[in-house]
Amino acid sequence: MRLLSKENVQDVLIYSYTKCINGFAAYLDEAQVTSLKGNPGVISVFENQERILHTTHSWEFIGFEANGAPTLSSLQKKANFGEGVIIANLDTGVWPESKSFNDEGMGPVPSRWKGTCQAGGGFKCNKKLIGARYFNKGFASASPTPIPAEWNTARDTEGHGSHTLSTAGGSFGSSVASKSLPAGKFYPLINAAEARLPAAQPADAQLCQNGTLDARKVAGKIIVCLRGINSRVGKGHEAELAGAVGMILANDEESGSELLSDPHVLPAAHLTYTDGQAVMNYIKSTRNPTASISPVHTDLGVVPNPVMAAFSSRGPSLIEPAILKPDVTAPGVDVIAAYTEAVGPSELPFDKRRTPYITMSGTSMSCPHVSGIVGLLRAIHPDWSPAAIKSAIMTTAKTKSNSKKRILDADGQLATPFAYGAGHVNPNLAADPGLVYDTNVIDYLNFLCAHGYNSTFILEFSGVPYKCPEKASLAEFNYPSIAVPDLNGPVTVTRRVKNVGALGTYTVKVKAPPKVSVVVEPSSLEFKKAGEEKKFMVTFKPVMDGMPKDYTFGHLTWSDSNGHHVKSPLVVKHA
């Protein structure tokens, strides 16, 4: 940083980054920021901003286990449960006392581990949780007042980090308890709108909002609350304060069929809009309506599954539509994993409960499933590059549910690669994909060239002299999926596949996107040795006028006689 003397740099420098990127975080004034932006050696300068943080049987669901135990052919068994693999998690911290991080039966810490267990908040590492650090200097520098000393710790006080890390690499054998009513016992049932206090509006009482329920009408009953406005757990709290023994949470019309698992403070059941309306009609139809809430149980083999969640991230990529996003999908709804004991499971002020495990939903829950799979693949294929591992996961993913039909979206319509990418992860097949799409330095340098960066910039960025091709194109980027976002004539895409399986010949089969001609040359690839790499070209051509202007989808699959099927999605938009 030439704007300041060496002495002054130490006063403003917060962090220096040299591993994944070359950069720094510093406390600068407007003049210094303007000067940095004008420096040709600086790619970007941006202000630090505060960000909001984004199933019990999920591993069995994706094929690792059967009846609660790993199968003989599972990736877990092949990888010896990831022994010796080190995984990292950048999140809200971790609750080290969780049973998910118990080191019983663990061997010594790998000698290659060079990290540290940073002290603070009584945090202790072990042979399972081998290191932890906290990074709060940026937050501290932006805070108008000194941050509390108890914040100087890697201990998780939010719950998110404990949940994701335990999903990716937590120990076996953890269980969860839940509140329930006696099996088979029926209780009086009341619609919350009919249980309002005299001063409360019926619409507010129907939502079980604060201070709207009459305890004389609610006590000892199961109450039906409508979803919306106030929190789902908060509705149950109001019902509990009024003396309810249980709650039925009925979706409003907007919420439709979306059901979520919540840490309710009393026994509760969540119903779809249709089912909720049926319950309310039942209440109107009889003088003495009753209901029972069954104890929690797990249904396996529900059809169809998987189904895409409404909140799941969607493509196309706004940054680079020529690369399909998302890559894959993985379990992310109602995933049970470790939690912090620093706050209650609902994070609401009244919630004084503490629980070591909780259900959460989100893309944050899908990510650690894939991270865990990556760790296991790394254990059995230590020579594979990150790109090869990604390719193995993508090309073996499944696009059909257990109904043998294409995966559905949350609205009941057929999902597309913009919802599930290459498909739902299938880790046992990823251990032996047959072929992988590997990438090298040239792929990434040409990626920069295709985005307009010149040789001078690339030298600054990579330290390697490189002359960009005259017509750099992302059509050459060796990705496991193929996207053509502007098809207005013939477009040829080049890909390379590397043999990581048995020797043999692969032949291609194409399901072309509607109204698009797709030709693959050559149509067969013979591999005579391990690690051999072959190139093929895919030519896309519109076949008639009047084609839809929206995206259409297909796929190509390379197959051999040994049971390998290397599948890549095709995504095309007509210009």
Q: What is the mean pLDDT of each run of 10 residues along the chain (575 residues)?
A: 60 84 87 89 83 50 51 63 79 88 87 91 91 88 83 87 79 57 87 95 95 95 94 93 95 84 90 94 95 84 86 90 96 83 82 83 86 91 96 97 92 92 95 96 92 85 85 92 94 97 96 95 97 97 79 97 97 90
pTM over 0.85: no
Residue type, 415: A
Q: Residue 293, SS3?
A: coil
**Does the 187-291 domain belong in CATH 3.40.50.720?**
no
Q: Options 2.60.40.2310, 3.40.109.10, 2.60.40.10, 3.30.1490.390; which CATH number does 478-575 get?
A: 2.60.40.2310
Q: Show me where the domains of the chain are located.
A: 1-47, 58-173+326-383, 187-291, 478-575
Residue type, 372: G
Query: Quick one: which of 396, 397, 403, 398 has its CA closest to 301?
Result: 403
The per-residue pLDDT for 361 is 82
Strand (E) or helix (H) holding 495 = strand 491-499
Cα-based angle 35, 37, 41 (whole degrees, multiple of 5) = 100
Measure the CA–CA gap between 575 and 563, rounded to whole angstroms.
38
Catalytic residues: 91, 160, 364
Residue for token pair 């909002």: 209
Query: Quick one: which of 483, 494, 547 has its CA closest to 317?
Result: 483
Peptide bond into 144 cis (omega under 30): no
Q: Residue 384, SS3?
A: coil
Q: How many helices (H) and strands (E) does the chain have?
A: 16, 20
Measure the CA–CA gap between 426 and 80, rounded to whole angstroms.
18
Beta partners for residue 492, in sequence order: 539
CA torsion 380-383-387-392 (nearest 10°) is -30
Q: Options 3.30.70.3280, 3.40.50.2300, 3.40.640.10, 3.40.50.200; which CATH number does 58-173+326-383 get?
A: 3.40.50.200
> Measured between alpha carbons, how far is residue 192 from residues 199, 244, 284, 456 in Å?
14, 11, 13, 69
